[in-house]
Structure 1
Amino acid sequence: MNVLKSLRAGLVCAAAASALLLSGCAGGATPSSSSSADAGTPVRGGDLVVAVPTDPQSLDMVANPGQVTAHIGNMLYEKLFEVDKTFAARPMLVDTYKQSEDRLTYTFKLRTGVTFQDGNPLTAADVVASLERWLKSHVTGQQVAADVKSLKATDDTTVTLELKKPRYPLIDELASPGAEVYEAKNLKGVPATGFAKEAAVGTGPYKLKSWDIGQQVVLERYDGYKSRAEEDWGGQAGAKHAYLDTVTYKVVADQDAVVNGLQTGQWTHAMPGDDQYTPLKNNPAVVVSNLAGANQNVLIPNFNKGSKFSDVRARQALNLLMDKPALNAATGGGPDLTVEVGALVSQDNKGLYSTAGDDVYKQHDPNKAKELFAQAGVNAGDTVRILTSNSYPQFSQWAVLLQDQLSKIGIKTKIDTYDFPTMLGTITKDPGGWDITTLFFNAALTSPSQMPALTLGVFNGSGSPEMAKLIEDYNAATSPETAKTLMDQLQTFVWQQFPVITISQSKLYAAYSPTLKGYDTFYRVFWNSWLQK
């Protein structure tokens, strides 16, 4: 597996960050008191203008797991299953499905009458071609592929997937980004960089109208779209009405311009940076709503030989030393956006959220940390090497604060700051040449195999037979209760071995004009939104 791609795929949907994303940017939210979700009778028509921080670069969600790509792609494409606002998988292109008694064979019956945006009917062959590519080339798909025995179209509307062994989270993984269904004809000979914009054709309620690279992407309603019935599931699932004529995504990289444009009406919706949260929340002309899901903010210690953190006692010491409230203060957004928990997933994900290890997360004892560092061979006067990135301001701020905290117990630091791709490249090219790095991950994922904190072995040397066995046991679970117990065990193991040390979780938010109605506070999903005249 490509390490850089894996890390990019594990990054969270950060509101003002670059296009690097996540393995699964999903979620909804309970709307704030000023939300537009219950805004009366919808009005059809109009152009919604949305500010985005970067050009999508590609609309191929396998080749480019970027934030903007994912959010626009959600409007264009659909999957066999989609996540609702509680992170539960719901059928989308699937009408019905059966699981065999031995839990090895899944038979998916597709909805009839569904067409791609070029008018061609959806067939089982399209689903098979799309999932074969996902299994081969996408991070989550590669995790699933090891358990897949066969995948075939048994007729035009039926897909059969046979496993080598039961896989409890399979349906959730089929609802994750990258498993979108494209036309089979558009996937022939696609390079690793992804397909051209002409192949950006899906079954969703909006289709690509135009794309001015670096400037804007315009989607228009697909009049041939066939919605599911009136299931009010929220998130990316259920009925899709497509009230808006068009949705225009304007590339606006400058945060001051993002805020000014909201206030002057140049665009209706944006996801600004955390430092803009409080002033926007206090602005009566703008609606601010928190989104479900979160970033998992982490320090990553290096387990590899040559690192000062190859000894678990040094990792224990780092956790004890870290002044997490001070680090969180540098994250931005204040208490409304920062949650001091050590969980691997957002509390919105009821099935996977765990409090296991919270007692370890909350520990803070610099004197004990100094003792443990000495036992691990890290003494006063030694130098810890921190790699960080100026592409995300909080990364470099965490590094500076950690430098100060280490200096108080006599340990020196050397901070190397790079743009984000260079930082990742430096880490992977010299596995023993660094000690700590700074990252955040998507905390809205739906299976352990998707969670970077559990799968960082190729990145920081933290892989272990014990971790692999716990993930394997989770995949073999037979009930939600068993799965929850195993998730508790996985999180406990993380707080024993410290493949990552969680600083906090950061909630996400959107800011938008009061004229945007019917918005479900689900990132940039707008098919049930409308504009008040």
Structure 2
Amino acid sequence: MRPRHFRQLVSVIGLSIGLGLLAGAATEAVAQDKKVLRFIPHAGLRITDPILTTAFMSRNHGYMIYDTLFAVDDKMQVKPQMVEKYEVSGDKLTYTFTLRAGQKFHDGAPVTSADVIASLARWGKNDTMGQKLFSYTKEWKEVDANTFQLVLKEPYGLVLDSLGKPSSNVPFIMPKRMADTPANQNVPDEIGSGPYRFVKAEFQPGVKVVYEKNPDYKPRSEPPSFTSGGKVVKVDRVEWTSISDPQTAMNALIKGEVDIWEQPAFDLLPELKKQKDIEIRNLQPLGMNYMLRMNWLQPPLDNVKVRQAILHAIQQEDYLAAQVGDPDYYKVCGAIFGCSTPLKTEEGAVGIKKADVAKAKKMLAESGYKGEKIVIMAPTDLNSINQLPLVSAPLLRAIGMNIEVQSMDWQTLVGRRAKTDPIDQGGWHIFHTAWGTADMMNPITNAGVKGLGKVGGFFGWTEDAVIEKLRDDYARETDPAKQKAIATAVQKRLYEMVHYIPLGEYFQPSAVRKNIKGTLPSPAFVLWNIEKN
């Protein structure tokens, strides 16, 4: 179903829901004449723990209430954030970090080394770069309340890159009592030390999130750049209201009922550009990448020949044309580390510009596939990817696969994709997602590359000892030319074993009212430095 047809089906319902939500925004804060920034996120927030999931909604929420030890600027250089200073020993085995003075959590407790160490330990269980960093780690040591050390087993060149990782999962720092929560469970409270405080009493999961300015936050003195520098809050309150119908969202923005629409539908951009009070801003300059991810634990996708057949049945242009539509905003590209990064290569890429349906049918027949049902999970409320499953279904039916598309909201999909249950107990075969290029720039940060299986792997649980050795080789290597050669070998192996299928690169602009100044380009969507005039 095309986006316009889908909107016609839901516009009446969406209009009623959206206007109802907006009418409910007349809160006590507004009555008190506080400055309120109103924001339409790309989906509703349900999972409030940014370590539990890689979902960008949870990551963006994390940047509102948490802070990080390091961050990256617009040149992707790592800069201190919560850290005041650090030293590296001559043998490069010991890193000593000192925290900035006066940092407090939202409950008034000081930020300490114990909080940091516990937070990083939890992050290191789930995150791709964190897992690799901890595999090189001998111990974390608390020197005093503001000083701590990382002691390595052997030199590792990506320590600061890991601690300053800008996107999912971000190594956010939380109180130790929260960080002691098992990494597979949501933290019991939303307390950080970041520029905003979470207003729990007004939280409506999947519908509305409210934040207030943190009066105790002390920004850095440097100008803001990407996720680094001074996080200066210039509004009193931020309200996220989820409006799933694009037409309703556009009308709300035009009327001034909301200030920023994070991800406007691409085919509404021409209309938005005509509005004198609205600007289209590219706030994610590194771009995004679509992905089809398969479940290696679920028969018949545990068979590499079946996965290879699916790979040959697909071409990127079909997905990009259906989901984005305007070639000005997308690019066909088989580079798994991003189309504009130093590790870009087309080596090993299959089915980028043209599918081979005849070969795919032959490969499927030779694989032993017996017509088993293939379940594709399809999000109904995430306009940035909701067309992708609807493209995959007919392409895979065309080569003889028995496809069932199961629709659900995005946060339900995020929860379900973590399950390894059989199909008759809620299991799944395929889901589609999108990643920022910052999440995919090398073999360590790209979660889809991991070959760790059920213990530490990304959803889909690819298990591949060959690719894990290559990732270790990359982590140890410091020569850029040799790193690129290793990354190329990783890409060839990924296409051979079909860890995932790249579906192309796109650039998602945001729609912003012109009275909103100071929006920051960033690998994540951040809402500090913003003025509302």
TM-score relative to the length of structure 2: 0.78
The corresponding residue for 2:435 is 442
Alignment of 1:475-490 (within 5 A): 475-490=475-490
After superposition, the C-alpha distances for 1:475-505 in whole angstroms (9 at most, x for unaligned) are 1122444333322221122223322222212
Identical aligned residues as a percent:
24
User: Which residue of the partner structure matches residue 147 of structure 2?
Assistant: 158
Amino acid paired to 1:257 = T
Residues 4-83 of structure 1 mapped to structure 2, 5 A cutoff: 46-52=35-41, 54-57=43-46, 59-63=48-52, 65-83=54-72
Instruction: Say if 1:351 and 1:480, in contact at 8 Å, map to a contact too.
Output: no
Query: Is residue 2:337 matched to residue 1:337?
Result: no
1:348-401 per-position Cα deviation (integer Å, ceiling 9, x unaligned): 5x35544433576345443444554555456xxx63643212325324312333
- The superposition leaves residues 431-465 of structure 1 with CA deviations (integer Å, 9 ceiling, x where unpaired) of 9x999624224243155234232126446564222
Preserved CA contact (<8 Å) 1:388 1:395: no
Q: CA deviation at 1:302?
A: 5.9
Aligned-pair CA distance for 1:181: 1.4
Partner of 1:451: 446
* Equivalent residue for 2:219, pick from 219, 227, 230: 227
Distance (Å, rounded) in 2 between the aligned partners of 1:461 and 1:113: 42
Counterpart Cα distance in 1 of 2:101 and 2:428: 55
Match of 1:147 in 2: 136
Distance in 2 between the 1:373 and 1:65 partners?
A: 32
Q: Distance in 1 between matches of 2:421 and 2:354?
A: 31
Distance 2:532 2:102 in 1: 29
The residue number in structure 2 matching 1:396 is: 389
* Contact 1:340-1:505 within 8 A present in 2 as well: yes
**Could you tell me which residue of structure 1 aligns to residue 525 of structure 2?**
524
1:170-189 maps to which residues of 2 (within 5 A)? 170-176=159-165, 177-187=169-179
SS of alignment partner, residue 509 of structure 2: strand
Query: Is the CA contact 1:280–1:286 (under 8 Å) kept in the aligned structure 2?
Result: no
Residue 201 of structure 1: aligned partner = 192
Matched, 1:260 2:251: yes
Within the candidate set 262, 266, 279, 1:287 is matched to 279
Which deviations, in whole Å up to 9, do the C-alpha atoms of 1:162-203 show, x marking residues without a partner? Answer: 122333323222223341112335546679543344x5131x
Cα-Cα RMSD:
3.5
Judging changes above 3 Å, is the alpha-carbon distance between structure 1 residues 424 and 93 closer, same or farther for their aligned structure 2 residues? closer
SS of aligned partner of 2:249:
helix
Q: Residue type matched to 2:226 in 1?
A: G
Change (3 A) 1:354 1:281: farther
Please state how far the C-alpha of 1:252 moved relative to its aligned partner.
Answer: 3.0
Does the residue aligned with 1:165 lie in a helix, a strand or coil? coil
How much has 1:405 moved relative to structure 2?
3.7
Task: Please point out which of 95, 106, 120 is paired with 1:131.
Answer: 120
* Maintained 8 Å contact 1:308/1:384: no
The one-letter amino acid of 2:195's match is P
SS at match of 1:508: coil
Distance of aligned partners of 1:416 and 1:216 in 2 relative to their CA distance in 1, 3 Å threshold: closer
For 1:400, give the aligned amino acid.
Answer: A
User: What is the match of residue 464 of structure 1?
Assistant: 464
Q: Which ranges of structure 2 fall in alignment gaps of 5 or more residues?
A: 1-6, 8-33, 381-385
2:444 is paired with a residue of what secondary structure? helix
For residue 447 of structure 2, what is the amino acid of its counterpart? Answer: P
Q: How many angstroms apart in 2 are the aligned matches of 1:66 and 1:422? A: 10
Conserved? CA contact 1:269–1:513, under 8 Å: yes
Within 2, Cα distance between the matches of 1:473 and 1:188? 32
The answer on whether the counterparts of 1:50 and 1:250 sit within 8 Å (CA) in structure 2 is yes
3-state SS, counterpart of residue 406 of structure 2: strand
Amino acid at match of 2:231: K
For residues 213 and 418 of structure 2, what CA distance do their matches in structure 1 show?
41
AA aligned to 1:131 is L
What is residue 213 of structure 1 aligned with on the other side? Answer: 203
**2:377 is aligned with what amino acid?**
S
- Is 1:105 aligned with 2:97? no
Higher relative contact order (CA 8 A, sep 6+): 1
Task: Give the match for residue 263 of structure 2.
Answer: 272
Indicate the SS of the match to 1:292: coil
Is it true that 1:494 corresponds to 2:494 in the alignment?
Answer: yes
Q: Name the TM-score, length of structure 1 as normaliser.
A: 0.78
CA shift, 1:303, in A, is: 5.5
Cα distance change of structure 1 residues 106 and 352 upon mapping to structure 2, 3 Å threshold: farther
Secondary structure of the residue aligned to 2:281 is strand
1:500–1:208 Cα change, 3 Å: closer
**Aligned residue runs from structure 1 range 311-390, under 5 A:** 311-312=304-305, 315-347=307-339, 350-358=341-349, 361-362=352-353, 364-373=355-364, 375-376=366-367, 383=371, 385-390=373-378
1:434 and 1:369, CA in 2 relative to 1: closer, same or farther beyond 3 A?
farther
